[in-house]
């Protein structure tokens, strides 16, 4: 690859004009109105996110210190929540099932770069987090990861590969610790 091809490849944005405008507008709303809401004004924050294309069940709870990139790529199911300082980096689609908890400081990262290419173009693979999942404090879920229903990713653990249903994981990289067992109502 010569220098001209590299410059052209690096200057080609992976975002459409509409996405660029949406990102700018959302960043202004998020930095002001979203952050300045009272801690329990979940409906107002859901409305702001939905205005920018997020698909959120009416019972979703998102704290005011949550950071959301590209909200139009976010889907969250019934009774799910994102705690303080959660980073929802939704460059690609992020789907979160019902009754799932993202504890404070969790990082859900649906974006990476293709390191095999000199220009390292942006990749936006999906993340799919099932129902009845707990992503504990400061845990990281990487691009292309599927977290099975009922799985628990322990505090500060790093998930870079699929997590099986109803298993508890810890460590970096995340390793299965034991079976969780089905929960009762």
**pLDDT tens figures, 4-42:** 554 455 567 888 999 999 999 999 999 999 999 999 999
Pull the structure tokens for residue 34. Answer: 């979203």
Angstrom distance (rounded) from CA 163 to CA 176: 8
71, 62 in Cβ contact below 8 A?
no
Domains of the chain: 40-176 (2.160.10.10)
For 68-98, letters b (16+ CB in 10 Å) and e give bbbbbbbbbbebbbbbebbbbbbbbbbbbbb
Q: What tens digit of pLDDT does each residue of 69-104 get? A: 999 999 999 999 999 999 999 999 999 999 999 999
Angstrom distance (rounded) from CA 135 to CA 152: 6
């Amino acid at each position: 690859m010569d220098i001209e091809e590299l410059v052209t490849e690096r200057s080609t944005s992976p975002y459409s004009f509409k996405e660029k405008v949406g990102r700018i507008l959302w960043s202004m709303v998020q930095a002001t109105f979203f952050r300045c809401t009272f801690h329990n004004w979940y409906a107002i924050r859901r409305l702001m996110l939905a205005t920018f294309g997020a698909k959120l069940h009416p019972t979703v709870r998102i704290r005011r210190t949550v950071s959301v990139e590209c909200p139009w790529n976010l889907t969250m199911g019934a009774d799910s929540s994102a705690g303080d300082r959660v980073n929802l980096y939704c460059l690609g689609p992020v789907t979160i099932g019902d009754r799932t908890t993202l504890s404070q400081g969790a990082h859900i990262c649906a974006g990476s770069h293709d390191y095999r290419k000199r220009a390292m173009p942006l990749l936006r693979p999906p993340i799919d987090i099932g129902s009845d999942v707990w992503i504990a404090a400061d845990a990281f879920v990487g691009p292309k990861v599927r977290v099975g229903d009922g799985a628990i990713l322990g505090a500060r653990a790093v998930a870079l590969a699929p997590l099986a249903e109803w298993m508890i994981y810890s460590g970096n990289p995340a390793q299965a610790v034991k079976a969780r067992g089905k929960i009762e109502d």
